[in-house]
Structures are given as structure tokens and as C-alpha cells.
Chains A and B, each alone.
Chain A
């Protein structure tokens, strides 16, 4: 029996297959089938044979297709907005020929309202996508973490496992809740306030919208710093105490048990190594899933943001500066949403990395 087979067998024993499969299915639904190429078995095989896991040229093509598709979808919106902007420009030029100024003012106001309606309806899709992707990330972590912690305990890091398990799972759930119920809705509200602002001549809610946006991004940044700080420091500490435990066990086994003690201690060592390579495979599987769950929506959102900025730049000569400013503000709001998603997945990836790192001795 060679070691690859043993590793594979143990891998299936340790991790529940149906858990990982359901995770993979959910992820590949959201990432246009990209995630299905990185199943845990493939990663295990690549690791035991020393191959690269990213040797598939299809990945780049999928991303390019996704990008072009999104550009096509967003360009339709861009053209619609630009046509209304041109109408506004014409109305402004004609305003002297109307009997009173208020007629042209009202028509311009209605055109601006149509533009903000279009923006809100496209922004709703982006918002739903962001909420969905954050929810899937949290779900991934909630399925993966118990398995990973179980393997972590099997590598001999009992203290780390018992201390980190409630901390990590609690903070993952908490962060998911905070981002889904406070941060993303706050960004949504800030976008709507920014759009309201483009309807009026005077700035009424411009600063309020900016305040809400900056506050929500700052909250996420603070969460990131606090959570990773606490958990990585805790991980360092428990890792040390686990090291003492394992080394004492190995030393006492090889010295106090006569004759077979040395072999037994080596076997224990081999077992722990095997477990820690299984842990790495699981962790890398989780990181890749999280990265894909981040990248695919991120491509979509950033493409839309780019198109908004572009439309804002194009609209500036024909429409007034208010509308072009509001359009490029929409772009900034989408970039903020993308930043929140990026922070969330960065935090989760850090959690997984901390767990992989523990017990590496």
C-alpha cells in the first residue's frame, strides 16, 4: 500500500464527503461552474503527486467571458442613461422658447428621476449579488470550520482546537450577521441618498450619504483588525501549549516504554504529519472556494462600477454636473460594496490560514 492510497482513505474517513459535495455544488452555482474544478480530491491528488493545482487554462477564459458578458449587459444601461442625458441637454437648450422656465425645469427633473430609477434598479441586482455572495461565504465557513477543527484536534492540537473552535465559528456568524443586516443595507441607503441629491439644485443630503458610506466601510475595517488580532494572538498562544504537550508525549513514549517505544513514537509522528497534510488540503480547498466566491461577483460588480464611472464621464458635456457627479458616485458606492466583500473574504481566509498554520511544528 503506498502512501497516496493511505492518504486518500484517511481523507475520506476524516472529512464527511456529503458536506464537501454540497459546499462545492453551492459554490459552483454562484461561480459559473468554476468551483467544480477545484474539488478536494483533485487538490489532494495534486498535492500527493507534486503537481500544480492551477494548470487549467479554462479559468482565464471563463473570467474573460464573464467580464465581456457583464460589459455587454452594463453597456445597455449606459446607452439608456446617455440618451436621457442628451434629452436633458436638448431641453436645456430649448428652455428659452417655452413660455415659462418652470416647464423646462419640471421636465428636466422628471428626466433625472428616470435616470435615478434606472440606476436604482441596476443597483438592486448588484446589492442582491453581494448579499448572496456574503451569505454563501458564511455558509462555506460554517460547513468547513467544524471539519477543519476536527482535523486540527486529530493532529494533536487539542488546546487550539477547543479554544479556537467557538471563537472562529462565533465570529464568522457574527460578522456575517453584521455585514448582511447593517453594513450592506447602510451602503444601499447611502447610494439612494446620493441619487436623491442629484435631483435637487442645492446639495441637501450629499454629506449625509458620504458619512454613511465611510462609516460602514470603517466598521468593516475595524471588525477585520479586531477579529484577526484576537484570533491570531490566541492561536499563537495555544499553539505553543500544544507543542509542549506533543513533545512531552513523544519524549516520554520513546524513553519510558522499553524496546518498542522508539517505533511507537515515530508512528505517532507519522500519523500527526499525515493529519496535518490532510488539514492543509482541506484548508486550501476552503481558501480556493472562498477566493472564487469573492472573485466572480467582484468581477461583475467592478465591471458595473467601471461602466458607471465611464457613463459619468461621457454625460458631463451634455448633462449638468449634478447628474454626472451622481453617476460617478454610484460607481464609488459599488466599489465600496466590492471593498466590503473583499474585507469579508480576507477575514475568512485569514481564519483558515491561522488554522492551517497551527500545529505545523
Chain B
């Protein structure tokens, strides 16, 4: 259960900090790509336990 709590905490922190970054970055043409990269990071964090589980098998 401890690992699950750590996982949820990670998701929380990453989403909060990325939301702050998204607001703070200046408007530019790269805006869309940065948002896409951020969502990739969130995907990686959410999928992390699955990757660990598969590695352990």
C-alpha cells in the first residue's frame, strides 16, 4: 500500500507543478509542443507501476 501512496503523491506533485509551468511559460509558437511533452510526462508517471510490475515478472 505504501508504494501506491507514493505513486499517487507523485501524480499529484507532477500534475500540480506542470500546471504551474503551463501557466507561467510565455505564449509562443512552441506552446503546443510543450503541452504535448508535459502530457507525455504525466502518461509516464501514471504508467510507472505497470512498468515496474512487468519488469519484476
Contact B8 A189 (CB under 8 A): yes
Check A192 for interface membership: any CB of B closer than 8 A: yes
The one of B4, B8, B20 in contact with A109, judged by C-beta atoms closer than 8 angstroms, is B20
Check B16 for interface membership: any CB of A closer than 8 A: yes
Check A208 for interface membership: any CB of B closer than 8 A: yes
Chain A facing B: main interface SS: helix
Contact A205 B1 (CB under 8 A): no
Q: B42 to chain A: which residues have CB within 8 Å?
A: 204
Question: Which A86-118 residues have C-beta < 8 A from chain B?
Answer: 102, 105-106, 109, 113
Check A185 for interface membership: any CB of B closer than 8 A: yes
Contact B12 A185 (CB under 8 A): no
Check A196 for interface membership: any CB of B closer than 8 A: yes
Chain B facing A: main interface SS: helix
Q: A182 to chain B: which residues have CB within 8 Å?
A: 1
Check A19 for interface membership: any CB of B closer than 8 A: no
The one of B12, B20, B46 in contact with A208, judged by C-beta atoms closer than 8 angstroms, is B46
* Residue count of chain B within 8 Å CB distance of chain A: 15
Contact B19 A109 (CB under 8 A): yes
Check A199 for interface membership: any CB of B closer than 8 A: yes
Binary CB contact string for chain A from 196 to 213 against chain B (1 if under 8 A, 0 otherwise): 100111101100100000
Say yes or no: A192-B19 contact (C-beta < 8 A), given A102-B24, A181-B1, A205-B46. no
Residues of A that sit less than 8 Å from B by CB: 102, 105-106, 109, 113, 181-182, 185, 189, 192-193, 196, 199-202, 204-205, 208
Contact A200 B19 (CB under 8 A): yes
Contact A189 B4 (CB under 8 A): yes
Contact A185 B1 (CB under 8 A): yes
Q: How far does the Cβ of B36 sit from chain A's closest Cβ, in whole Å?
A: 11
Central interface residue in B11, B23, B39, B42, by most chain A CB within 10 Å: B23
Q: How far does the Cβ of A351 sit from chain B's closest Cβ, in whole Å?
A: 27
Q: Please give me the 5 A-B residue pairs with the lowest Cβ-Cβ distance, nearest first.
A: A105-B23, A102-B23, A189-B8, A200-B19, A204-B42
Complex-state Cα separation, A102 to B20, whole angstroms:
9
Contact A106 B23 (CB under 8 A): yes
Q: How far does the Cβ of B35 sit from chain A's closest Cβ, in whole Å?
A: 8
Contact A204 B1 (CB under 8 A): no
Binary CB contact string for chain B from 7 to 43 against chain A (1 if under 8 A, 0 otherwise): 0100110011001100110000000000000010010
Q: B16 to chain A: which residues have CB within 8 Å?
A: 113, 196, 199
Q: Which partner residue on chain B sits nearest A195 by CB separation? A: B12
Q: How far does the Cβ of A271 sit from chain B's closest Cβ, in whole Å?
A: 50
Complex-state Cα separation, A202 to B42, whole angstroms:
12
Contact A193 B19 (CB under 8 A): no
Complex-state Cα separation, A105 to B21, whole angstroms:
11
Q: Which partner residue on chain B sits nearest A109 by CB separation? A: B19
The one of A189, A199, A205, A208 in contact with B19, judged by C-beta atoms closer than 8 angstroms, is A199
Complex-state Cα separation, A300 to B12, whole angstroms:
29
Q: Which partner residue on chain A sits nearest B35 by CB separation? A: A202
The one of A102, A106, A204 in contact with B15, judged by C-beta atoms closer than 8 angstroms, is A204
Contact B8 A106 (CB under 8 A): no
